[in-house]
Chains A and B, each alone.
Chain A
Amino acid sequence: MRNPQLNKHGELQHLLTLDGLPRDVITAILDTAAPFTEVAEREVKKLPLLRGKSIFNLFFENSTRTRTTFEIAAKRLSADVVNLNVSTSSTAKGESLLDTVDNLCAMQADMFVVRHAASGAPVLIAQHLQATARDHIHVVNAGDGRHAHPTQGLLDMYTIRHYKRDFSNLVVAIVGDVLHSRVARSQIAALTTLGVPEVRVIGPRTLLPTEVEKLGVRVFHDMSEGLRDVDVVMMLRLQNERMNGALLPTPQEYYKIWGLTQEKLALARPDAIVMHPGPMNRGVEIDSAVADGAQAVILPQVTFGIAVRMAVMSMLAGQ
């Protein structure tokens, strides 16, 4: 069973997940991203690395933010970008996922940036391309179900490295709805691969996956214990539809117990940074005073995200 994101030489062919991605590959992506952060500060924010390449943003699930950052990253690399919101076009007419892909391949796509509500959809596309000998086409997972959001995980690693320099002495806490979060899975995979000695997850039992400890994390249910002496707090978004029901009673109770306030943050190390993948629910998982506070690095995450996506796309499809 070949790792579907590596080619037969073990090189990165697609970016589908951070789970199982070798440490040196992750580090290489972060290293490649570093100079790209400067491109944004130039008068002409463009590099010719992907000139003439066609990148299809294939979004089967709505997203404005992630799609936009991929689009900006691709355009800064001089690629031609086509945005397809497939949830409103072909699959609604009954076309299968792979039929859609085949049609776009026939339009000479060089790369697909895929978001899909089902875990594993980009893996399926990558396997399909491999089975049909179209190894020149690359797939970047822009979020699939609960499975993975590798570029988010990478930009989070970039952010941590930017502020903390070294992963080998950190305590990192991931707080909130880990169960439904592809972001959390990618973060856990990257943090453990990069050698973070202690990764914690904090949340109610209803929002933590079964046997999550086997992913290499310590489980906490209590914020005051879980946040103690951490260097990095990674908050997760709580989806609206999960706030009232069988998973949680109310957003108010959630905020009271697991919402990140200044008071709870004070239990972390004084130089701890606070991250959030966005969009935030202020007053549910995070208090505005923290979100806008001195320890928050939430907006730099967005900026770094473009550089990291440029790095991924140029490493996959660049000359």
Chain B
Amino acid sequence: MLLKRTEAWITGIGLVSSLGEGVDAHWQELGPHVAPTINVDDAGYAPYSVHPLATVDFSRQIPRISDQRQMDRWQRIGVHAAGLALADAGIAGKPELLDRIDLSIAAGNGERDLVLDEHVLEAMEGHRDLDGTLNHQLATGLRPTLYLGQLSNLLAGNISIVHKAAGSSRTFKGEEMAGVAALEDAVRRLGAGQSELMLVGGALNAERKDLLLNLELGASLLHGGYRSVWARREVGGGMVPGSIGVFLVLEAPGHAADRGAKPYARIAAVASDRSARGPGEAAVTMRSLLEGLAPVVDDDRPLAVLSGASGVEPATSEERQFLQELKDALGPTRTYGSRLGHGIEAHFITGVALAALALSKRSFYPPSDHTESAADTGFACRQILVTSLGHDCGEALGLVEAVEERPRG
């Protein structure tokens, strides 16, 4: 599709992860002046590892217990992060703005009732009347509200209910590409005047066996304990899922200026494609996406990169190839999945959030492991490239850019 320079200002960020809650906590943990920490659980789901959510008091963003009970944990994580973003942008509690903010959300499945699944499987194993047993067990065991916890679009639905954010609401699916699509559609709508104010985000609860089962069927999980994304190839690769909730408030510049909102940064472009994933195809596709961004990329300085690599092979090696071929044009590369885990639907938007945060601080992150050069830590960037080479499919790039006028300080 035709590249157009877009003008989507990021005026609010809500972020919860294994490292904490809120942008300040994340800058504290990820910024240039601290010893890197990693919060990972190698034992609870062995042989797999997950990055568990830091302690979060959901009642601060979801005050009604009845609302919390109607949600699965991925929804609570997302609704909480959405509330943080709305508050950060100065929109929370403003009915006129909330009534017309458009929701663009990335979501996967909800969570299954594991206890019920295990109970039904056990009951069926010893039973001859399989159909009758299944029907009876499900009809008496399923919670009526569970389905609503499982529907992909009910993260959006719960955000509307809890925060009263209700202009319009679209949910995109498709693993990493869900996050790409949610952001790309939002940016294009803002660019074309089809919306002025958007809430864009996603959430993942990594700490659940049904998710791990789905990923293991595709041979997508790291086995045998945590190691950084770029150190996984020699053990066969694989992702370490991370619990993440991330939301951005995106705004047309004029709309933000009129209400005195200051941006962290602007999204200059989002470009995406889906190659057939023959050997080398993903790297070629990433390269051609980057070439498409040439009109908006600064050519007078190296481009800093936040890589969304998952660790899953062969996708991660394809990304390595893409980055190495361009190393003369690229500045420092940081792989945020090594610190936060892989957020699947939420992963690309998390990268864009971290890019905006760094640009607002006029700084950049330290290496995520020994393969990344420490030389450019604190590098004052004007543009950051966020990569998404999906663990199974889909390729995308986001270009996030500093806003010189009216920056958020």
Do A and B interact with each other, yes or no?
no
Could you list which residues of chain A lie within 8 angstroms of chain B, going by C-beta atoms? Answer: none
Could you list which residues of chain B lie within 8 angstroms of chain A, going by C-beta atoms? Answer: none
